[in-house]
Amino acid sequence: MHLFSTIRHVAVAFVAAFSLGALSACGPSSPDQSAYIFSTSTPDISMDGAPNVDVRIMRDGVQIADAVIFETRFDMEPEGMEAMTATVTAQGSPDPGTYRFAVKPTMAGRWRLSLGAKIQGEADTVRGSVIVMAR
């Protein structure tokens, strides 16, 4: 289980790195990642239980309500600990355009929630992340 989880994380990291490379090369088939803004209304979360992180995805000032989130990763990259990951579980949408995730930070500090989504009109996966502070 742990090994599988590690392999999956490595795979996700590789895909992310590849996407960045494609982006800097301005490949014609890569989606316009920079057009999508990922933000959170829950920048501060508790160390207790499984707090919610709410993420909003916007493009051109419009909330994206039809995203299908199929990749999630919660890690301590903002503190230089990218290898430290913790549980993240999708909780659906509390309102259209907001995506909720229950997380279990194992250490106080800044955590990054990275998402990969299928969005209508985009052939490729759209990726983004938000940073929250666990106290």
Where on the chain is the footprint of Cu ion (CB under 5 A)?
76, 81, 84, 107
* Cβ at position 112, least distance to Cu ion in Å: 11
* Cβ at position 47, least distance to Cu ion in Å: 12
Q: Which tokens is 65 given?
A: 């309500």
CA distances from 75 to 30, 34, 134 (A): 25, 22, 12
CB nearer to Cu ion: give 23 or 84: 84
CB nearer to Cu ion: give 76 or 88: 76
CB nearer to Cu ion: give 84 or 102: 84
Mapping DSSP onto H, E and C, the string for 36-67 reads: EEEEECCCEECCCCCCEEEEEEEECCEECCCC
Residues 102, 91 contacting (CB under 8 angstroms):
yes
Task: Provide the H-helix boundaries in 42-110.
Answer: none
* Cβ at position 88, least distance to Cu ion in Å: 15
**Angstrom distance (rounded) from CA 103 to CA 47:** 10
CB nearer to Cu ion: give 38 or 111: 111
* Cβ at position 76, least distance to Cu ion in Å: 4
Of 120, 135, 1, the closest CA to residue 64 belongs to: 120
